[in-house]
Amino acid sequence: MASSFAPPKLADFILTERLGSGTYATVYKAYRKGDSREVVAVKVVGKKTLNKASTENLLTEIEILKTVRHPHIVQLKDFQWDAENIYLILEWCSGGDLSRFIRSRRILPESVARRFLQQIACALQFLHERNISHLDLKPQNILLCGSALKLADFGFAQYMSPWDEQSALRGSPLYMAPEMVCRRQYDSRVDLWSVGVILYEAVFGRAPFASRSYAELEEKIRSNQPVELPPGARVSKDCRDLLLRLLERNPDVRITFAEFFAHPFVDMEHMPSAGSLVKAKELVLQAVQKDQEGERSAALSLYCAALEHFVPAIHYETDRQRKDVLRQKVSQYASRAEELKALVASDNRLSFEEARTSRDVLREMSRDQPRLLAALGMASTAIAKEESGLDDHEALDMYQQCLGELLLVLVAEPQGRRRELLHDEIQSLMTRAEYLKKHVKVSICPSARILGLDMHFQT
């Protein structure tokens, strides 16, 4: 039996320490007999503990795991059975689970949480494309193999098309979506709520509905109050936006899978992968060419884009010597990007000063146009906000608002000197906004941070 004190006997494996147990199964660390001594995890399910529902769940788990192969999903190597038990032979993950990783560090830096989230999103995208829902996503079911995360325990997983609905209670209450806890119909979007809880726990050290009892937990989940971040939460704008959209109580308002995979905080384009270094090298070759041709702004944009792929490439590389070489290269490119950033700023300063004079003239000519004056005032505020360097995101939002207004005014403006000045002002503001977006908003990581970032992933 799975619940017996001594590990069960299995023909090809030696079962050793017990790693954990649940209602229907116990998981052991095991070694394959023979010369290879391969390490695996064996999930032992006692046949006598299975009822009809749990038997169906187990068969679905085996079916799903036998058909999926993905670097961020635990691999089912084989399954066997005897008179008493069913055995799932699973890939061994030496780093423990994400819950233990978070507890050992209390909270995770946002950069580390983001890397982990990218891997979860990559696995979920793979499952979503095959109409598979996990339905029990939680840190305890996410395992670490080195710096790689792998989704595990598909005991509640189901094949669910986007329009399929279920009503059976599945998963762990702390990570269950409200529509599931309230025993209403639910669909695959419950997995997105669980991802939100996991991300919240990673960056704040506790789940949003952490409670002392199940009754208290259920009351919090059933409440109509929107989920709020902890007071004084220091997270980026993108992280905050994603958290609140994932933890939307109403599944019809909750972020969709497509929106989640495309969200700027998830940023799957820059997820560490085998292609990261290829993309980085392509971009840096273009950057060097533009740099040699004296096209500073274009070179800076390309260096920034290359660095965004070089950093994930460092994470992906496992060979220590090649990793050190990459760090040295990245340090050189980051230094050159910082130099170009200063040169481009100097190049733009003169043109920005010339635009300021034209803006004053335009303002004088627009005293009889309240809407145009208001838009120009907003432009001046955006410029001041940008030059203060305090909040690039807010400055960009202001640029977008005032440009929207100015373009509407331009459509209705008759030919003449004021229209020419307005056209020039719009072009100048667009240049500033693009400069801010590409060069100031893009964080050019100091070499020390780039070189040390991957240390956060050592388990």
Same domain (yes/no): 254, 117: yes
Task: Residue 228: give the domain boundaries.
Answer: 98-269
2 domain residue, yes or no: no
Among residues 12, 82, 97, 136, the one annotated as catalytic is 136
Distance CA 106, CA 404 (A): 44
Look at residue 180 and give its three-state secondary structure.
helix
Q: Report pLDDT for 72.
A: 95
Q: Of the candidates 225, 244, 269, which is a domain's last residue?
A: 269
- Element holding 87 (H helix, E strand): strand 85-91
Q: What is the domain count for the chain?
A: 3
Binding residues for ATP: 47
Contacts 24+ apart (CB under 8 A), 372-380: 372/406, 372/409, 372/422, 374/405, 375/402, 375/405, 375/406, 375/409, 376/402, 376/406, 376/425, 378/402, 378/405, 379/406, 379/425, 379/429
Same domain (yes/no): 289, 360: yes
pTM of the model: 0.77
Instruction: Look at residues 114, 271, 140 and name the one whose alpha carbon lies nearest to residue 194.
Output: 140
Same domain (yes/no): 256, 292: no
Same domain (yes/no): 284, 147: no
Same domain (yes/no): 208, 312: no
172 domain residue, yes or no: yes
Q: Report pLDDT for 262.
A: 95
Same domain (yes/no): 257, 281: no
Q: What is the CATH number of the domain that holds 196?
A: 1.10.510.10
Same domain (yes/no): 115, 81: no
Same domain (yes/no): 80, 147: no
Could you give the percent of the chain with pLDDT greater than 90?
45
Instruction: Look at residues 173, 169, 141, 175 and name the one whose alpha carbon lies nearest to residue 43.
Output: 141
- Bigger pLDDT: 261 vs 349: 261
pLDDT at 99 over 60: yes
Q: What is the CATH number of the domain that holds 337?
A: 1.20.58.80
132 domain residue, yes or no: yes
Q: Of the candidates 239, 269, 299, which is a domain's last residue?
A: 269
Same domain (yes/no): 102, 82: no
Distance CA 316, CA 275 (A): 10
What is the tens place of the pLDDT at every residue in 227-286? 889 888 889 999 999 999 999 999 999 999 999 999 999 999 888 888 899 999 999 999
Instruction: Look at residues 310, 320, 313 and name the one whose alpha carbon lies nearest to residue 287.
Output: 310
Same domain (yes/no): 396, 332: yes
Q: Report pLDDT for 12.
A: 87
285 domain residue, yes or no: yes
Instruction: Look at residues 172, 145, 151 and name the one whose alpha carbon lies nearest to residue 76.
Output: 151
Q: Of the candidates 38, 67, 91, which is a domain's last residue?
A: 91
Same domain (yes/no): 226, 338: no
- Bigger pLDDT: 191 vs 447: 191
pLDDT band at 315 (very low <50, low <70, confident <90, very high): confident
Q: What is the CATH number of the domain that holds 75?
A: 3.30.200.20
Contact between residue 156 and residue 60 where contact means Cβ atoms under 8 Å apart: no
Binding residues: 47
Q: For 208, which DSSP code?
A: T
Distance CA 304, CA 300 (A): 6
Same domain (yes/no): 65, 141: no
Tell me, yes or no, if 136 is annotated catalytic: yes
